[in-house]
Each structure stands twice: as structure tokens, then as C-alpha cells.
Structure 1
Amino acid sequence: MLRLDALRATQVERDPFEYLIVKNFVDHEKLKGVLADYPAVPGPGSHPPVGLNISGHFKELIDELLGPSFQNIVEEKFDVDLTDRPTMYTVRGFCRARDGKIHTDSKTKIITVLLYMNDDSWESSTGRLRLLRNDSDLENYVAEVEPAGGTLLIFKRSDNSWHGHHPFEGKRRAVQLNWVIDQSVVDGEQGRHGFSSAIKRLFQPALSWRQRA
């Protein structure tokens, strides 16, 4: 399902921080099945797998992302030992206008993986993630990641791994996977996202977001 050969062939960029981008990382034909089985999320924000229907082709995708082959390539590319480092992942379905503010990711994260799960192309001029040279200017970027279906971004978290995007509101699917420093990070983050997800189920039904997307 994952085009690991394309990942192996992709060079890591090191200016201004370490990252790589692989378009069409998910086999095009298999992507259709993944999108068909993409779990329904109750609204914007990040949602942990607990409480979501992780099944079918989508589960197969997640299993490959969490597998040793993918981890081995990430370790090699970013010269990092991820042995015994826990992983966590969240699922996003929708974006709010206030999302996308410039940030670096928390210091508890070692590697961030973003795999976009939208259609083949991204028509909007906004919502495209930009990798930045500073913490204040979205126009001072080194790369712009189109969140089209199957696009992969991996970066090593650092004090200058700035990224963000111009405001976008609507459907914007993505899976975020992180290797983190220890299990307490997983417990805390997944618990926080899980509580938020439960609240959204009560007060912000997914149907309203589907209608707006």
C-alpha cells in the first residue's frame, strides 16, 4: 500500500530543518479504498483512534505506517534511533479557520509524519502547509505541501521546525504519526485529544461539518 521505494529514493532536505516530501506515497488504486474506509470524525481538530472506527483499508494503511519497514527507513533518513520510542497517531477530517498557526511541534516529539488523505488534487490556494524560515512570516517558506491524497511529509522536530498554513475551513483529511520521547507523552496527548473528541461528539455533530465541507 505504501510506496516505500519512493521514500527510500527521496533525499532529506536540511534547510532550514530536516524534512522530506513524497507525493503519491500511497498506491493510487489502494488510496481509493482507504478513503472509502476513512473513519468519520465528529468535527475539526485531532482525534485519537480510541472512539473512531479504524477498520478495513484504512486500518491496513495504519498498520503499515506503524510497521518496522517504515520505521527503519525513517531512522536511516533522519539518522535517528527510534528503538523503544513510543508512537502515537491522530486522525483529522476538518479544518477550522483558526487552525494552521505557525508552530514547531512540542519538544516531546522526535519525528512528525503527516499523510494527507484528500482527493487527488487540492483546489484551494489556502490550507497548503508551508515549511518556514521563521516564526512570523508565512510568505518566507522553503516548501509548500499540497495536501492532496497520498502526499507524505516527514520532518525532524527542532527549535526551528516552523510550519503553518493560511486559514482554510472545510474538509481537510490527514493522519499525523509521531515518535515521542516516552510513554507518558502518548498517555497525556491521547487522553487530551480523546476528551476533546468526546466533547465534540456531544456538542458539534459531524453532520454539520460534512454539510459545510
Structure 2
Amino acid sequence: MTYLDYAALERTPLERDPYDFLIVEDFIRPETFAGVSTDFPDVPGPGSHPPSELKIAGAFAGLMQELEGPQFRKAIEDKFGIDLNGRPTMYTVRGYVRDTDGEIHTDSKTKIITVLLYMNQKWDADGGRLRILRKGDDLESTVAEVPPYGGTLLVFRRSENSWHGHKPFAGPRRAIQLNWVLDQSVVDREQSRHRWSTRLKKVKQAILPQSA
């Protein structure tokens, strides 16, 4: 089964102002979105969670296999004019955000390409809508705003000015982040860091109901 709309990705122009990015709405095919959403893994609170600490199964597992596969990589290589051969991928899953999340940043220098895929059914809030920004100190220097629902895809090339962020929001906000990174040491380090964070949150989640 193909979960992704490669034709929509191909016909979407690559924006180069203020840095290389593209946005594709309904990138997860509408006829498959419900199944992927149903199989979205449970996560223990805010933050980024590695797949090793989650139950990855069903249609969600199929989606991730496709995102990490050769067809999607080739589509990104062609669109961004980049060779990703030999560059490893890593992904994390988010299910919630805190009102302290969303501060403006560029992503770390170890990342080459960032992929964000939004898995919310709908989005009515003003906060939590990721913005592509011209400036690192101005959340209103907006070039584009990403609809964080319905399988919307955002891909950008990490650079010194790849500023992005969003207005505060606290609550459920489903997203997948996948990155091509410089080398395997980045994957090992980052996934280990997220793994221990997730385990700590699982412990807290187990203890708090008992102490309530």
C-alpha cells in the first residue's frame, strides 16, 4: 500500500525565500489517513519520543516504512537537489506540546533535511501552527504557516537561517519528525537521549496516578 501522494509532492514548487522549504497538504492520502491516525502510537506526555520506546504497528508502521524507504528519499533528493546516499535517517513521534514549546530555532547543525508530518484530525487553535520565519527574534516575520492537521507535510533544508517556531499551545498535537543527518553517531546519540527521556516520562506517568 502507498500512503503518500508523491504526485502532489512533485508538483509542489520548492520555496527558496527565506530558505529552502515546501509544504504539501494532504500528503498522506485521505483514504489512508484514518487508518494511520487510528494506529498512531500512545506517547507518555510531551516531548519527542523514539520508536524504540513506542508500539509502532499497523498502518502507522506502514507509513514509517514508506517514509524511510527509497521512493521518498529519491523524491526529496530530486526536489532539493541533494544527494542523501549514505546519510542515515532518524525519526521521533510527538503527541503533546507544552505552552513552553515552539520557541524559534533553526534545528541543529547535525541535521541536513527536516521532515515534519502533522497527524491531527483538525486544528482550531491559533497557537501550535508552525511558522516559517525570516528572523530569529520575531514570530511575526512569517513567510508561511503550516496547517498542522490532515497529513500536511513540511520539509526544509537546515541552514543558519532556517528559523521556525509557533505561538504557545498546550495539549494534544500529533506530529512525526524525520531527519536525514550527517552520520550514524548523530542517530545513536539523539535516539539515546530521547530514549532515556521517554523512559523517565513513563515512570512518572505510572507513579502520578497512584499518588493522586
Q: Same fold (TM over 0.5)?
A: yes
* Cα displacement string for residues 124-183 of structure 1 (whole angstroms, at most 9, x for unaligned residues): 011000000011000011000110120000000000000000000000000000000000
Question: 1: CA distance between counterparts of 2:200 and 2:168?
Answer: 24
Structure 1 length as normaliser, TM-score? 0.95
* Cα displacement string for residues 177-202 of structure 1 (whole angstroms, at most 9, x for unaligned residues): 00000000000000000000000001
Structure 1 segment 149-188 matched on structure 2, within 5 A: 149-188=150-189
* Cα displacement string for residues 64-87 of structure 1 (whole angstroms, at most 9, x for unaligned residues): 101101000100111110000000
Aligned residue for 1:125? 126
Aligned residue for 1:48? 50
Aligned residue for 1:64? 66
Question: 2: CA distance between counterparts of 1:13 and 1:134?
Answer: 17
Percent identical among aligned pairs is 60
Question: 1: CA distance between counterparts of 2:180 and 2:32?
Answer: 25
Q: Which runs of 4+ in 1 moved over 3 A?
A: none
- Unaligned residue ranges in structure 1 (runs of 5+): 209-213
Aligned residue for 1:211? none
SS in 2 for 1:204: helix
- Unaligned residue ranges in structure 2 (runs of 5+): none
Question: 2: CA distance between counterparts of 1:186 and 1:19?
Answer: 23
| Pair 1:22 & 2:28 matched | no
SS in 1 for 2:71: helix
Aligned residue for 2:191? 190
Structure 2 length as normaliser, TM-score? 0.95
Aligned residue for 2:147? 146
Question: 1: CA distance between counterparts of 2:20 and 2:170?
Answer: 29
Aligned residue for 1:105? 107
Pick the aligned partner of 2:75 from 48, 73, 76: 73
**One-letter code of the match for 1:83?**
N
- CA RMSD between the two structures: 1.3
Question: 2: CA distance between counterparts of 1:19 and 1:117?
Answer: 19
Question: 2: CA distance between counterparts of 1:143 and 1:98?
Answer: 22
Question: 1: CA distance between counterparts of 2:95 and 2:117?
Answer: 12
Question: 2: CA distance between counterparts of 1:63 and 1:54?
Answer: 11
Question: 2: CA distance between counterparts of 1:136 and 1:118?
Answer: 28
| Pair 1:37 & 2:66 matched | no
Question: Deviation of residue 29 (structure 1)?
Answer: 1.8
Question: Deviation of residue 204 (structure 1)?
Answer: 3.3
Question: 1: CA distance between counterparts of 2:205 and 2:145?
Answer: 31
Question: 2: CA distance between counterparts of 1:69 and 1:146?
Answer: 24
* Cα displacement string for residues 14-52 of structure 1 (whole angstroms, at most 9, x for unaligned residues): 000000000000111211000110100001000000010
Question: 2: CA distance between counterparts of 1:79 and 1:161?
Answer: 17
SS in 1 for 2:51: coil
Number of residues of Structure 1 aligned to a counterpart in Structure 2:
207
Question: 2: CA distance between counterparts of 1:107 and 1:143?
Answer: 23
